[in-house]
Amino acid sequence: MYREMDRTWAQGAAKKLIEKMQVVTARSKEKIPYRTQDGVFDDCSDDAHIGWWTNGFWGGEMWQLYHLTGEEMYREAALLVEEKLDAVLLRYQDMDHDSGFRYLPTAVAHWRVDHNEASKNRGLLAAANLAGRFNLQGQFIRAWNDFGNIDRRGFAIIDCMMNLPLLYWASEVTEDPRFEMIARAHANTCKKAFLREDGSAHHIVNFDIATGDMKEAVGGQGYGVGSSWTRGQAWALYGFTLSYLHGKDPEYLAAAKASADYFISCIPESGPIPVDFRQPRDVTWEDSTAAAIAACGLIELYRCLIKDAGEGWTPDAEKYLSAAMKLLRTLDEQRCIWGTESDALLTKCTAAYHDAEHEFTIIYGDYFFIEAIMKLLEKELFIW
Ligand code: GLY
């Protein structure tokens, strides 16, 4: 399915990855990391941080590494995360649209490995909560809960395309189409309201919560309204690809291709990905997470097209794989700490353009970089 040179790259990366992660996991396995400080992972296991949306990704890394190596240490670390996240299931205020990010790489990944009832129960509770966020009139899944003094009841965000696979999974295991119907309705709304003519995507759209009408696009984690937040674009291209994978609706394939083509057209010659494709020219802030997520989405899109062509070659598919490899090689050669001096892998990750801090390490950058390597090795535990 992959070119020889891409498999060779992935094998080399996996060797370095295993060497590093054996050491890092041994010293961090009881944590739920978000980022490093002076090379050492922090820990979001405590009551104040357990609800943070990124808390599933360390579990996801552990499941991928367990799948690759069979080493118990990784499975044990993944199970610890899953148990800790039970606290969140009981906290209405912490449960938001990011349930997919929390529970697909943890409870659902565990269920995929051994079909145990406890993990299935966790996944279904999370899916039911996610489905309950659906605004029937506007046909969208509400994003965040209320905090501060901004009214977010009508906010939907492009990131949520990546949470829909929790609903697809729930319909599959319950043989009840309700969850999938909600996922498809949200994806249809996203396609109409978020994707612009050129394939770029809004981050946030605000809907009237009573009439369901689109009121406005709102500036989010990118530069501003009308800009092009690179991680949001990566969520769009991977998210629409996954909706296509689950439902085979050609509308989602078209949306995935439009998002991907736009992303590819913006990749700088030098390789690293900025925080926003439309940030001011004198701003050099990067976001390696966007590169890693986009690479995963592009590989998955490549796989869909190859499968649709009966495992045959198509020029379109090749274009997506080549772009993914450019992103991954850039990360490997320029933005990766392969030694054990840091617990994290990727450097220059940025959570949001207007945050005070930019270009640090972030757990989901590492997760998606590992997922991309696993895809190329054909050893991935499929999470989405
Ligand atoms: N909410 C997901 C992100 O920051 O990309």
User: How does pLDDT run across 328-363, given as a tens digit for each residue?
Assistant: 999 999 999 999 999 999 999 999 999 999 999 999
Nearest CA to ligand 1 atom 1: 159
Provide the CATH number for the domain formed by 4-377 in this structure. 1.50.10.10
Mean pLDDT of 105-130: 98
Mean pLDDT of 61-67: 98
Residue-range domain boundaries for the chain? 4-377
Is the confidence at residue 249, as pLDDT, over 90? yes
Question: The tokens 């207007």 sit on which residue?
Answer: 354
What distance in Å separates the CA atoms of residue 276 and residue 269, rounded to the nearest whole number? Answer: 16
Q: Nearest 5°: CA angle at 373, between 384 and 76?
A: 65
User: How does pLDDT run across 189-245, given as a tens digit for each residue?
Assistant: 999 999 999 999 999 999 999 999 999 999 899 999 999 999 999 999 999 999 999
Q: How does the average pLDDT of the chain come out, rounded?
A: 97
Q: Which of 102, 141, 231 to mutate to test the pocket of ligand 1 (most atoms within 8 A of CB)?
A: 231
Residue 290: per-residue pLDDT: 98
pTM of the full structure? 0.98
Number of H helices, E strands in the chain: 14, 7
Nearest CA to ligand 1 atom 3: 159
| Share of residues in the chain with pLDDT > 90 (%) | 96
Is the confidence at residue 125, as pLDDT, over 90? yes
Ligand 1 first shell, C-beta below 6 A: 53, 159, 221, 231
What distance in Å separates the CA atoms of residue 197 and residue 59, rounded to the nearest whole number? Answer: 37
Contacts of 189 (CB under 8 A, 6+ apart): 138, 139, 140, 156
Is the confidence at residue 265, as pLDDT, over 90? yes
What distance in Å separates the CA atoms of residue 34 and residue 287, rounded to the nearest whole number? Answer: 15
Is the confidence at residue 313, as pLDDT, over 90? no
